[in-house]
Amino acid sequence: MSAQPPPPGHPPPPVPAAVQATVRELVDLSPVLTELGRRFTAAGFQAHLVGGSVRDALLAAGAGSPGVPGDLDVTTDARPEQTLELLRGWASSTWNTGIAFGTIGAEVRGLPVEITTFRADRYDRESRNPEVAWGDSLHDDLARRDFTVNAMAVSLGPDRTVTDPFGGLGDLLARRLRTPGSAADSFADDPLRMLRAVRFVAQLDLTPGDDVVAAMTGMHGELARITAERVQHELSRTLLNPDPRAALELFVSTGLADVVLPELSALRMEIDEHHQHKDVYVHSLTVLDRAIALEQAAGGPPDLVLRLAALLHDIGKPATRRHEARGRVSFHHHEVVGAKLVRKRLLALRYPKDVVEAVARLTFLHLRFHGYGRGEWTDSAVRRYVTDAGDLLPRLNKLVRSDCTTRNQRRAAQLAATYDSLEQRIAELSAAEDLARVRPDLDGNRIMELLGVPPGPDVGRAWRFLKELRLERGPLDPEVAEAELLAWWAARDS
């Protein structure tokens, strides 16, 4: 079903009675909302379920799976101190960390609820921090929200009326993303809304209107006003959706990526006249698609580390591209350069250090498999592959398999079979040896006893020699390891 947005200056069509009835039923499924509505109404105040709560409830109803709205966001004409008083003795706990913005948090019978006073803010358009002002009108409160699909409200009073002044329901049905007013004004007030638009493309399968795309394209530089932490949060939420490709294409085409993740935009390299390398940008998006498919097939939750690595594994290619003889193109050591670029960019975006190091390590290792050839690796090489990957090995397996995007079916089948062979050898060696924890055959105490040295650098060097020996030859009997260590020590001193 599709619907056209209301013409400028005209009210949207009334909310159908069937929708009103559905929303009433959804609200009534939550005793907490019902009781909250009664408390506020009895005190002479309005209370409305609002924003994403209404949007998601309508989507769930449309999909035939109605249930209690997940996030309970309520707006009211009560001031924060009045809200606190109304919650006293009813909510098991309250918190006022957002009270400066009119928001009171509460927990009622295990359900978190956020209750915010109507707002009529003004923005200085130099930061994204508004000059907070209380409002008295639900309409005006909805008008300041980011998108029409988030500018709908349901009264928690007895009538359960749906308020939709900007045609959000029609946009939701048509899978259309619009702003309540001018998109340019909305994004000037809060540039983070442009990244939220990207996320909603992935999360809700919405298509942004032409004016939204034009405003994003013309104003992408305004993202520099937003803190790295907020940018990272939106980027991660986008990537963790089941199918983020269209959202990422919007992210790049509008120029937002130029500000947030310029290395991704840089992958759109001009293809050489002989077509000796594939479109690296399209390839990277395809690798992400394939990695998500493998992740979903394994039945696990969305994996941010794997998805970042799939998207960014080739970001070292633009800096390493070289034109060789006979029209060929090379990208020597792009995995080394790429790992450095990944580390620098993700740190700038304030990702946790463990995420940064994991993505950088996967980027560095993603080409290692191609040295396997037709299985020429020795057992020592397989041990090193597993040891270097460490606990990232399952992710590296998925990344390497996803990196095969050739359209040549014979070549694709050959690569898959080769990787099957490597995984089989890893499994066989793991059954015979503890590859997950490759350690020297002698511990530090025995090293010191044999060599007659105290704790210090010499013990570390001996430990590393024994680990290399373990990787090269596999597990050794203690007597053999001791003899090798003593021989190495004697040769070292001679």
Which residues neighbour 15 within 8 Å (Cβ) at sequence distance 6 or greater?
162, 164, 169
Q: Is the distance from CB of 121 to CB of 132 less than 8 angstroms? A: yes
Domains of the chain: 1-177 (3.30.460.10), 304-437 (no CATH), 444-493 (no CATH)
475 pLDDT above the threshold of 80: no
Residues 471-475: what's their mean pLDDT?
A: 76
- Name the pLDDT band for 459 (thresholds 50, 70, 90): confident
Which residues neighbour 225 within 8 Å (Cβ) at sequence distance 6 or greater?
126, 127, 128, 191
- Name the pLDDT band for 62 (thresholds 50, 70, 90): low
User: In 3D, which of 333, 255, 247, 258 has the Cα closest to residue 292?
Assistant: 247
423, two tokens: 């995984």
**Lowest-pLDDT range of 97-101, 131-135, 136-140, 249-253:** 131-135
Residues 453-463: what's their mean pLDDT?
A: 84
Give the global pTM: 0.83
pLDDT of amino acid 272:
45
403, two tokens: 């990196």
**Lowest-pLDDT range of 311-315, 388-392, 480-484:** 480-484
- Name the pLDDT band for 3 (thresholds 50, 70, 90): very low
Instruction: Produce one character per residue of 453-484: b if its CB has 16 or more CB atoms within 10 Å, e if not.
Output: eeeeeebeebbebbeebbbeebebeeeebbeb
The string of pLDDT tens digits covering residues 233-284 is 999 999 999 999 999 999 999 999 999 999 999 998 755 444 444 689 999 9
| Winning range, highest mean pLDDT, from 58-72, 158-172, 439-453 | 158-172
d(Cα 490, Cα 446) in Å, to the nearest integer? 17
d(Cα 380, Cα 55) in Å, to the nearest integer? 56
